[in-house]
Structures are given as C-alpha cells and as structure tokens.
Amino acid sequence: MSAERHILHVDMDAFYASVEQRDNPELRGKPLVVGGGSNRGVVAAASYEAREFGIRSAMPMREANQRCPDLLRVAPRMAHYQSVSSEVFSVFRQFTPQVEGLSLDEAFLDVTASLALFGSAVEIGRQIKARIRSDTRLTASVGIAPNKLVAKIASDLDKPDGLVIVTLENLRELLDPLPVSVIPGIGKRTLSQLHAASIRTIANLRIAPDRDLEPIFGRFTARTRERACGIDARPVIPSRPDKSISAEETFDTDLYKPADLQRKLMRLSERTASRLRKKGLTAATLQVKIRDSEFATFTRQQTLQPAGNGTGQLYESASHLLRGWLSENPGARIRLLGVAGSGLAEDSQQQLFADGDIAANAQLDQAVDDIRERFGGPSMARARTLDRH
C-alpha cells in the first residue's frame, strides 16, 4: 500500500470582492458584487454580506439587484486580481513546488515531501494562511486530506478563514452526512435524478445498489461510487501552461451596426494581444466567439501565419472571421463578442527583427505596453476603439 499523501486545497475567500473591500474601506461590511455593469451582466464574485441575500457568482445582475436593492457593484479589475494572485501563489511555492493552480484564487498543494522541513500538514496549512494574511491582508480557507477530492470538499466546509483536516481515520465520518451536491461534477440535472432515487447524502450514494446508480451514471458508476468513498488517486500536477488567452464582453444593448462591432472587436483584439505579450507568448490560432440575441453561441477560427501576438495581426484575422459570420447571418443582433488566441508558444521575439510593417507594428505595440505599464491601462487607446461621440 502506498504511503499516505498530504494534499491541501487552498481557496481564497470571496477573492475578487475581498480585494475590493480591502482596497476601499467604504465597501467593507456591505453587500458587494464584482461584475457586469448592467442588468444584462452577471456576478463575477459576491462578498459574504451579499451572499446572505442568496447572491452567488454567475447570477444575473438583474436577479442580484432584486434580491438586494442596496447592493453595491464594482467593475472587475482583472490585472489587479492577477497581481494579488501572484502574491498568493508565491506563498504556496515557499512550501512546495507541487502547486496545481485551478484559477486565480485556488490551488492544490502536495506537501507530502515538505513535512520534514515545515512540520505536519496541519502546521503547513496554518503557516500558509498566516502568510497570506500577512502579505495580502486577505483570508483563505484550507482543506487538508489524503487526496484532492476530499481536500477540495473540506476547504468549503468552514468558510471563511477555515481550516478543516480530514484523515483516513475520520474520512467516512466527515463525508457520509454531507449532501451529494458537494461532490464535484454533480450538476442540477444529476442531482434531481439522485433525489428522485432517494439518494441525498454521500452515505446514500456510497451504499446505493448498482441498479439505482447505473441509469444515472452509466459507465461512470464505479468511479462515482469511489468518489462517495473518498477515493481519488489523481496526483497534483504543477500548473500547466495556458491553453488559450482571451477577452470577451457582454454588451449593455445588442449590437448590429458593423462599425460598432468592429470597434468592439478592436478593443477585444487589443486586450487579448496585450495579455499574450505580457506572458511572452504567441498564438498560432485566432478564434472569435459570437453570441446572438437568442443566446445562441458561435465560434469561428483561423490559423495565424506566422503565429503572433500583434494587435493588428489579431484584429485583422478577427475582423475577417466576424465579417464572414455576418454575411451568413445578415441583420443579426449580437449580445457578446470574444477574441481568443490558442496554440500558444513562447515568443521568439523574431517579429522585432522583421522587415516592414511587422517590425513597425511590433515596436508600436511595445511602446503602448510600456506606456500603459507606467501610467495605467486607460492612459492610451487606439482611435478606432473610441466611440464616435
């Protein structure tokens, strides 16, 4: 039998909202959401004060405002959250190189090999929480368990600022009474099927006969039962490179005029290109995402020759793809646009030494990046991205 692993799942508490409340004392103790600026947008994060009204991430802003008329809203500051996230992840790597990031605000850590240096997994969890608080003035909740599945469940059981320890000895005692909905991957439809079969707790799921589970989970029945038993052999995999980098926007009102759409497309191309350059990456494929007024979503993509991260190059390709879609869907009203680069690779910087327009555009992009880095994002904008008024 293999030695017991010691896995931590660290989850920042209401991360985006907590950063905003930390930075602005006037927002502290008040119901706050980070997210879309109109009733058509969605909540990206909700403070714990807002959660008392039943407000959650991904909820439409219209519903959030109905639940809490005094709700405060701030626009997302993704670059700032990424900066704070980097501080948090640097704390993680002080204890182990085995860090698997799941998002800006959560990660798995395998500290099995770190025990001799830092003490028990519980002590490591406490030290991580203390350093995050000291370095960022934010709180995190930590679940400690023999595997990733149980650690993730545990981190959510005592929020905010929690620390929950699960061992092989108390694993079943802790899991059995919990609702089956805490198991990752069980969505609303599956949950309703389980409830119809009188399966409501993890214990119910663990001991349910195959004849009840197979109609719901099919070939995944055995794996699901393993999860109910708290079995998970997946290793912690140090964070993989980004598969794609993108930017998208949901509009306050549906757009249909080509000039308005092209202006938005340039802004999105610029944001995506800037993020690629900041990470030192190029994209081999450019994708445009389109959602119409009926909520139907379409994607179109094109290979970039050569792979690149220039604003002009991405916009030219994105514009070609959008014009093609519009010609197939005349008169369509568009609710959302997105631009993504995939097939990522390290930037060889060759475009800086190229001839003609490529070199000139690369130098222009670099100058814009430098100015924004020094004076802030809104300090410079391309003329074609500006509204006519």
Cα(14)–Cα(49) distance, integer angstroms:
10
By the 10 Å C-beta count (0-12 exposed, 13-18 middle, 19+ buried), 194 is classed as buried
Cα(187)–Cα(249) distance, integer angstroms:
26
Smallest CA-to-CA distance from 94 within 68, 119, 128, 126 is with 128
Q: Which of 49, 106, 123, 328 is catalytic?
A: 106
Written as one string, the DSSP assignment of 22-76 is: HH-GGGTTS-EEEE-SSTTSBEEEE-HHHHTTT--TT-BHHHHHHH-TT-EEE--
User: Is 106 an active-site residue?
Assistant: yes
Cα(80)–Cα(55) distance, integer angstroms:
23
Residues found in the chain: 389
How far lies 105's CA from each of 8, 87, 369, in Å? Answer: 14, 11, 26
Q: Which pair of structure tokens corresponds to residue 292? A: 């119409």
- Residues marked as catalytic: 106
